[in-house]
């Protein structure tokens, strides 16, 4: 699928933040901890979720997904890894989240390694170190492109994470959940998808202390066999996409159901760039734990921020939101420095927006400067094989005068459900074409 875009239009109206991709995939993996039936509410119909369902079905899991988005997951008595859907597993880095759940059912197994986003080298070092301390050995086989997992004596302990990795913390949580006793995880990620996983595990009767902090204390149980209902919450990355889109196009948009506690520094940084916005009254998400808020973005004269923009572990700016500052900076007076330290190589994708008339310079593999404001024009670009940079380019095309084509938008469909249709309802001209 390609997107044909006629940009330069002011957008208007309201849009809801959909359910989080990253929370949804974590809960899919965690459902395999439960020998009983799990219901996940309002699951997003995105390609990443579809690939994981294909994998789960290939090992014997029954998945029923109704029209409302609710998903009923029934595990088999025994998983069968003999006919794993390798093609689906390799298309998502989220497949690594199944290491810990399967380690509770097999003493030894192989799992296809992900190909996923092309973001340079990002090892599973934090997963491997943490899981080893809990009795799970993970090694990679380059010839077969698989993870090999050997499970020894699993026992509770104190784990210090090598880095505050989201998926590394999630794998460690899922391993600790079914090890009887108390496991303490230090330097854990406290990000939104980790919090959602903790809320789900609590529904599985796992007691967890320190949710939302860098130290998690998990009281593991020997078994989980119950009817469990999980509520993945709204996606702060999607909220930020629409904030940035409104800022870049000079549009007035109301973004509903924003997880406000996950967006404070993003909004503060946009405010430092001159963006005006109004906050609504907080209310609770369906999980009863996440605070939501409606945010109205007001057209504003933008300036470069006084400081560099860099991602930090929660509660800092989310690394997935960092690319969305690039198009905003193209319309801001002055020079903006963006430091993308987490991913080796992602910053070079920011240069693609120069094909639309932006002025972005790569200082080194992790830093770019953007000089603005620049008048963006149409162009043809192949979507990078990375979700957020691909979406950033779509944002630039919506702000650019004239016609643009974004080729091969599968990376966008990995994380966004019917994005072009939702944009059209706001007044954008975006057509999906073969």
Q: Which of 211, 230, 249 is the last residue of a domain?
A: 230
Is pLDDT at 121 greater than 80 in this prediction?
Answer: no
Question: Which residues have C-beta within 8 Å of that of residue 311, sequence separation ≥ 6?
Answer: 317, 318, 319, 321, 322, 340, 341, 342
Model confidence over 228-258: pLDDT tens digits? 999 999 999 999 999 999 999 999 999 999 9
- Looking at the structure, tell me whether residues 96 and 148 fall in a common domain: yes
Within its chain, how far is the Cα of 291 from the centroid? 18
- Looking at the structure, tell me whether residues 13 and 52 fall in a common domain: no
Nearest in space to 179 (alpha carbons), one of 193, 158, 209, 149? 158
Per-residue confidence (pLDDT) for residue 10, from 0 to 100: 96
Is pLDDT at 428 greater than 70 in this prediction?
Answer: yes
User: pLDDT band for position 114 (50/70/90)?
Assistant: confident
Per-residue confidence (pLDDT) for residue 123, from 0 to 100: 63
- Looking at the structure, tell me whether residues 167 and 70 fall in a common domain: yes
Nearest in space to 246 (alpha carbons), one of 6, 9, 22? 9
Per-residue confidence (pLDDT) for residue 116, from 0 to 100: 47
Q: Which of 230, 245, 276 is the last residue of a domain?
A: 230
- Looking at the structure, tell me whether residues 166 and 245 fall in a common domain: no
Number of domains in the chain: 2
Q: What are phi and psi for residue 284, nearest 5 degrees?
A: -95, 145
197, 173 Cβ separation under 8 angstroms: yes
The pLDDT of 150-177, averaged and rounded, is 95
Structure tokens at 174: 């899922």
C-alpha separations of 184 from 153, 164, 314, 327 in Å: 18, 14, 19, 41
- Looking at the structure, tell me whether residues 250 and 207 fall in a common domain: no
- Looking at the structure, tell me whether residues 294 and 251 fall in a common domain: yes
Range from 91-95, 158-162, 354-358 carrying the lowest mean pLDDT: 91-95
- Looking at the structure, tell me whether residues 93 and 204 fall in a common domain: yes
Tell me the pTM: 0.94
Is pLDDT at 78 greater than 90 in this prediction?
Answer: yes
Q: Which of 209, 230, 251 is the last residue of a domain?
A: 230
Average pLDDT, the chain: 94
Model confidence over 139-153: pLDDT tens digits? 887 778 889 999 999
User: pLDDT band for position 119 (50/70/90)?
Assistant: very low
User: pLDDT band for position 275 (50/70/90)?
Assistant: very high
- DSSP labels for 33-98? G-SS-EEETT----HHHHHHHHHHHHTT-EEEE-TTS-EEEE--SS---TT--HHHHTT-GGGGGG
Range from 216-220, 247-251, 310-314, 423-427 carrying the lowest mean pLDDT: 310-314
Percentage of the chain beyond pLDDT 70 is: 98
- Looking at the structure, tell me whether residues 219 and 339 fall in a common domain: no
Model confidence over 36-65: pLDDT tens digits? 999 999 999 999 999 999 999 999 999 999
The pLDDT of 274-280, averaged and rounded, is 98
Scanning the structure block, which residue is given the tokens 């109004």? 278
What is the domain range of residue 190?
Answer: 21-230
User: Looking at the chain, how many residues does it have?
Assistant: 434
Is pLDDT at 173 greater than 50 in this prediction?
Answer: yes
Per-residue confidence (pLDDT) for residue 377, from 0 to 100: 97
- Looking at the structure, tell me whether residues 411 and 394 fall in a common domain: yes
Crossing angle for the helix pair 236-249 and 387-399, to the nearest 10 degrees: 30
- Looking at the structure, tell me whether residues 240 and 332 fall in a common domain: yes
Instruction: Measure the CA–CA gap between 245 and 249, rounded to whole angstroms.
Output: 6
- Looking at the structure, tell me whether residues 138 and 156 fall in a common domain: yes
- Looking at the structure, tell me whether residues 275 and 369 fall in a common domain: yes
Report the run of H or E that residue 328 belongs to, with start and end: helix 325-330
Range from 8-12, 139-143, 163-167 carrying the lowest mean pLDDT: 139-143
Per-residue confidence (pLDDT) for residue 118, from 0 to 100: 43
The pLDDT of 213-237, averaged and rounded, is 97
Per-residue confidence (pLDDT) for residue 115, from 0 to 100: 67
Per-residue confidence (pLDDT) for residue 283, from 0 to 100: 98
Beta bridge partners of 402: 7
Model confidence over 22-39: pLDDT tens digits? 999 999 999 999 999 999
Output the domain CATH number for residue 334: 3.65.10.10
Per-residue confidence (pLDDT) for residue 142, from 0 to 100: 73
155, 183 Cβ separation under 8 angstroms: no
Instruction: Measure the CA–CA gap between 121 and 103, rounded to whole angstroms.
Output: 25
Within its chain, how far is the Cα of 148 from the centroid? 25
């Amino acid at each position: 699928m390609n997107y044909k875009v006629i940009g330069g239009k002011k957008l208007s109206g309201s849009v809801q933040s959909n359910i989080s991709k990253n929370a949804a995939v974590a809960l899919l993996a965690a459902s395999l901890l439960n020998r009983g039936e799990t219901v996940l509410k309002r699951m997003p119909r995105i390609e990443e979720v579809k690939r994981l369902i294909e994998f789960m079905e290939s090992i014997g899991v029954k998945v029923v997904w109704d029209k409302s988005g609710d998903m009923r997951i029934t595990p088999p008595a025994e998983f069968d890894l003999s006919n794993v859907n390798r093609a689906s597993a390799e298309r998502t880095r989220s497949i690594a989240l199944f290491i810990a759940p399967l380690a509770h059912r097999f003493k030894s197994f192989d799992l296809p390694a992900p190909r996923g986003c092309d973001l340079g080298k990002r090892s599973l070092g934090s997963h491997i170190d943490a899981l080893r301390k809990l009795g799970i050995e993970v090694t990679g086989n380059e010839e077969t492109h698989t993870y090999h997992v050997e499970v020894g004596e699993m026992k509770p302990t104190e784990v210090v994470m090598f880095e505050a990795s989201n998926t590394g913390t999630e794998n460690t949580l899922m391993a600790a959940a079914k090890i009887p006793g108390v496991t303490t995880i230090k330097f854990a990620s406290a990000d939104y998808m980790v919090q959602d996983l903790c809320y789900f595990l609590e529904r599985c009767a796992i007691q967890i202390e320190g949710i939302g902090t860098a130290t998690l204390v998990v009281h593991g149980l020997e078994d989980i066999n119950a009817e469990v209902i999980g509520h993945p919450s709204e996606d702060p990355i999607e909220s930020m996409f629409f904030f940035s889109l409104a800022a870049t196009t000079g549009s007035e948009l109301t973004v509903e159901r924003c997880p406000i506690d996950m967006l404070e520094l993003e909004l503060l940084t946009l405010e430092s760039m001159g963006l005006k916005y109004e906050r609504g009254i907080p209310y609770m998400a369906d999980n009863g734990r996440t605070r939501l808020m409606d945010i109205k973005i007001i057209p504003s004269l933008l300036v470069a921020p006084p400081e560099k923009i860099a991602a930090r572990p929660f509660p800092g700016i989310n690394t997935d939101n960092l690319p969305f500052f690039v198009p905003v900076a193209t319309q801001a007076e002055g020079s903006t420095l963006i430091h993308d330290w987490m991913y080796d190589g992602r910053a070079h994708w920011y240069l693609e927006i120069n094909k639309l008339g932006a002025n972005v310079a790569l200082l080194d593999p992790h830093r770019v400067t953007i000089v603005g404001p620049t008048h963006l024009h149409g162009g043809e670009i192949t979507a990078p094989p990375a979700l957020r940079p691909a979406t950033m380019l779509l944002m630039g095309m919506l702000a650019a005068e004239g016609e643009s084509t974004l080729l091969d938008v599968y990376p966008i469909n990995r994380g966004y459900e019917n994005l072009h249709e939702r944009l059209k309802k706001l007044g954008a001209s975006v057509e999906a074409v073969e």
